[in-house]
Chains A and B, each alone.
Chain A
Amino acid sequence: MSKYMAFPEVVFKDRDLLIGALEEIGCKDIRQGKDLEMGRYYSEQLEQKAEIVIPRGTIGNHYGDIGFARTESGDYRPVMDDLDRSRALSGQFIPKLRAAYNERVVAKVATKLRGTVHRTVEGGVVKIKVRY
């Protein structure tokens, strides 16, 4: 059954870093605004509003839009169709987005501390050292 689901365990606090991360993982068409309505392509998809919307069909999300709704605390939480969870970016949408977002967090921290960044990849794991 197709329905929109929120991912309460996934939080993005910085809008600019989130947009940058979305662009990095291949989201070319990003709609931004306030209370944007996510498309309802199936009867089971209930009304959803979001601040950031990736339109259906852009990164393997065949069943619906992918949205980022703002919570009362100002965080952005993803909302997507449960069937797209295993299809968007071959099921890697959330992990890739988190990794891209986290790399941006590290870069911002390094800038704030006026530190130097040394990045390596060891055994598929990204290691970043910030010295300040």
Chain B
Amino acid sequence: MPEINFTIDPQTGEMEMKVEGVQGPQCADIAKIVTELLGVPEHEENTKEFYARPSVKPQVQNKKKV
């Protein structure tokens, strides 16, 4: 299940966000929602999951010649 972890430091009021469990650039959609409310982040880094692509097994069908 995808999750977003937010950390807020009350001393500064600053917040960090980490998106987990979302492969590929889908997490950019989450970042967009947050950016609309917070503005452009000071620092942004893509995790390994961002570069991962969902694995799709090729389906092979045996066709019989009639």
Contacts and interface: CB of A to CB of B under 8 A. Distances in A.
B13 A98 contact: yes
A46 interface: no
A131 B13 contact: no
Interface residues of B, number: 22
Contacts, number: 84
Interface string B1-23: 11111111111111100000000
B37 A94 contact: no
Contact of B11 (A95, A113, A130): A95
B39 interface: yes
A68 B54 CA distance: 45
B5 A98 contact: no
Contacts of B11: 95, 124
Contacts of B15: 98-99, 102, 105-106
Contact of B6 (A14, A94, A97, A130): A130
Nearest to A119: B6
Given A126-B10, A131-B2, 18 more contacts: A13-B39, A94-B13, A95-B12, A96-B10, A98-B13, A98-B14, A101-B13, A102-B8, A105-B38, A106-B6, A112-B33, A113-B33, A124-B10, A125-B9, A127-B7, A127-B8, A128-B7, A132-B1
